[in-house]
Structure 1
Amino acid sequence: MTAFDPARTALVLIDLMDRIVGLPVEPRSGAEVVAASVALAQRFRAAGAPVIAVRVERPGVDEQPPGSGLTAEIEALADRTVVKRTIGGFYGTELNDLLEGFGVDTLVFGGIATNLGVESTARAATDHGYEVAFVEDALAALTAAEHHAATTLDLPRFGRVLPLPEIALEGS
């Protein structure tokens, strides 16, 4: 069991939007990623730790494609939503200021796609000095091979990759 201090940790959920969750992702479906993320968000909220949802908007278009909002379940649990216009959640957004305002120094990640938005945001997070962890059950990619490469080769270089049952918050 890995216990995180809720006063210093935020859950960051990447691109859990209807149009992305509905893609054919692996090694689990988008619905399974959302279910795991909801379980995490409920734990974090119960412990008083912030839940931040990050979603992407296409730059330079008059209207976003259908399904560009967060899934209803994630929208209901997010303390704040950050809109990004690049692959990662830090560049050109208020994410770092928001996290600093919450006083956190550790980020726990879930979302789609493991090797794209999640990994890009996590790389920038480490550049900003955050400790990071990844909940393997709350991640998926466009292929199982991409997910596996990210969770076994890349992400462990930045932080811990943990299964959902091992995530706990101190005092809860």
Structure 2
Amino acid sequence: MTGGRTALLLLDYQVALCEEGPHLRMPPLAEQVREREVISHAEKVLASAREVDWLVAHVRLAFDPTYVLRTNRLVRFDAYPDQCAMLADSPEAQIVEALAPAEGEPVVDKGCVDPFVGTPLLLALAAEGVQHVVLGGVATNLVVESAARHASDSGLQVTVVEDMCASFRPDLHEFSIQHLMPMFGSVTTADELIGAM
């Protein structure tokens, strides 16, 4: 696909965002995840990435009890400390079981939308010789788009796997995929990506 090592970045596939049940925080997003079969597409890509020895990194929104490391200080993020939500050890902050990290796969905790802000992720990718990142996650127009923008501006090649992503509404996903993501990298599907490995 490209020179250098490839990393699969799995972004915010968390119980509170993706799974129906007592810990769900965003029902519209979880509904789109289910309707688009996002988790099953991500499972296939994850299995293939492990087979070809890509670096796999998991990113999640997770806080320590002080919330001081929360880098996003917008009002909409105030709900997390106000409700003591998405604490790192809480059930809601965990990565969904189907995509659980394997031994040796790092988990990066972030305090904002962008997975590179306030985290060692970019430095870790550089240290591992990564020049190409493959992205999937929720929500498309938030963490995935932020990651694509930041990665491309940092000199990385970017591939977004469209059917590994979902947003709160189909139109938000489609606009991001069709009009914005192509400015920062290539867009593909799970099957196309696996076929090209």
Q: What band does the TM-score fall into relative to the shorter chain? A: 0.7 to 0.9
Q: Deviating runs (4+, > 4 A) in structure 1?
A: none
Residue identity in the other structure for 1:68: A
The alignment-based identity, stated in percent, is 30
Unmatched tracts of structure 2, length 5 or more = 20-26, 69-80
Return the alpha-carbon distance in structure 2 between the equivalents of residues 102 and 21 of structure 1: 29
**Which has more radius of gyration?**
2
Q: Give matches, 1:37-56, under 5 Å.
A: 37-56=42-61
Secondary structure of 1:134 counterpart = strand
Higher helix share: 2
For residues 65-100 of structure 1, what are the alpha-carbon distances to aligned partners after superposition, in whole Å with 9 as ceiling and x for unaligned?
641111122223471111110110001101012111
Report the CA distance between 1:168 and its aligned residue: 3.4
Report the CA distance between 1:34 and its aligned residue: 1.5
TM-score (norm. length: structure 1) = 0.87
Secondary structure of 1:10 counterpart = strand
Q: Give matches, 1:157-172, under 5 Å.
A: 157-168=183-194
Report the CA distance between 1:14 and its aligned residue: 0.6
TM-score (norm. length: structure 2) = 0.77
Report the CA distance between 1:164 and its aligned residue: 1.3
Identify which of structures 1 and 2 has the higher relative contact order when contacts are C-alpha pairs closer than 8 Å and 6+ apart. Answer: 1
Matched, 1:70 2:95: yes
Report the CA distance between 1:40 and its aligned residue: 0.6
Match of 1:93 in 2: 119
For residues 144-165 of structure 1, what are the alpha-carbon distances to aligned partners after superposition, in whole Å with 9 as ceiling and x for unaligned?
0100000000001101111111
Matched, 1:122 2:148: yes
Unmatched tracts of structure 1, length 5 or more = none
The root-mean-square deviation of aligned C-alpha atoms, in Å, is 2.3
Among 14, 18, 33, the residue aligned to 1:17: 14
